[in-house]
Amino acid sequence: MGSDCLFCRIVAGEIPATVVRETPTTLAFRDISPQAPVHVLVIPKEHYADVATLAQGDPALAGEVLATATAVAEDEGLLGDGFRLMFNTGAYAGQEVFHVHAHLLGGAPLGPMLARNLA
Ligand code: 5GP
Ligand code: ZN
């Protein structure tokens, strides 16, 4: 992947980002267009298109993404009041960047899980 992928370019340092945590295999940085007081994206450094591909291809790395997200939630003071961790996956979820990323959202009541009830 690499040069064609926005988040691979952030991992490579070619595009700036506000990094809040880095491990040997994961990176967490603030979303450029935050939807909540805390909005951090957590990614594996290795390119996987979405969470399904990641979980099937390297479940241990998927766990490392969750561990990094939890560490950021703790750093940001979210463990007490709670937070939302979300992976948009594919067309129905409106995924726009095809390098898997967890959205870590918190810092205020987040409202209903979906904007509309689709059931
Ligand atoms: P998706 O819709 O794929 O789940 O989410 C993509 C997210 O990436 C969006 O929340 C968007 O604001 C964020 N984003 C897009 N481009 C950039 C960028 O260049 N830097 C950062 N930090 N976030 C970005
Ligand atoms: Zn990538």
CB 30 within 8 A of CB 18: yes
pLDDT along the chain (119 residues), means of 10: 89 98 98 98 98 98 98 98 98 98 98 92
Catalytic residues: 101
Assess if residue 78 is contained within a domain.
yes
Supply 95's token pair: 């995924």
Assess if residue 91 is contained within a domain.
yes
Q: Which residues line ligand 1 (CB under 6 A)?
A: 6, 15, 17, 29, 31-33, 88, 94-97
Q: Domain holding 78: CATH number?
A: 3.30.428.10
Residue 2's pLDDT is 67
Total domains in the fold of the chain: 1
Q: Whose CA is nearest to atom 15 of ligand 1?
A: 32
Supply 99's token pair: 């390098």
